[in-house]
Structure 1
Amino acid sequence: MTSVRWASVATVAGCALLALVCLVAVLRGRTWAALPGLLATAIGFREVRVLQRHGH
């Protein structure tokens, strides 16, 4: 049994929320929100991979 890395879980949740907010902003015509949204998505995916690697 491995311990949960709560900081990584919180990072993934925060990035998902930020990416969702940025997606809504982009859909409403705020093209500047695309870059922070993509950055948050990339960081979230990286943290998911860290969590998957740590679980094995």
Structure 2
Amino acid sequence: MSVEDAQGAWVGSSRSSNEGGACVEVATTDRAVLVRDSKDLTRPHLAVGPSGWADFVRYAAGS
């Protein structure tokens, strides 16, 4: 999947509500995990390599 293909594959956090609060969405491609601010889709996304994303998730989980 290319970055362009990820456009329909964005997923929000299950802890986010639809009430306009802060929300981060992610999508995956063959080469990266993409992260964006769902409140402002005009801004560019952040691309993180798979190993960097795994490190972040472990850190965020407190492991």
**What's the TM-score, normalizing by structure 1?**
0.28
Q: Which has the higher helix share?
A: 1
**What's the TM-score, normalizing by structure 2?**
0.25
Q: With a CA cutoff of 8 Å and minimum separation of 6, indicate the structure with the bigger relative contact order.
A: 1
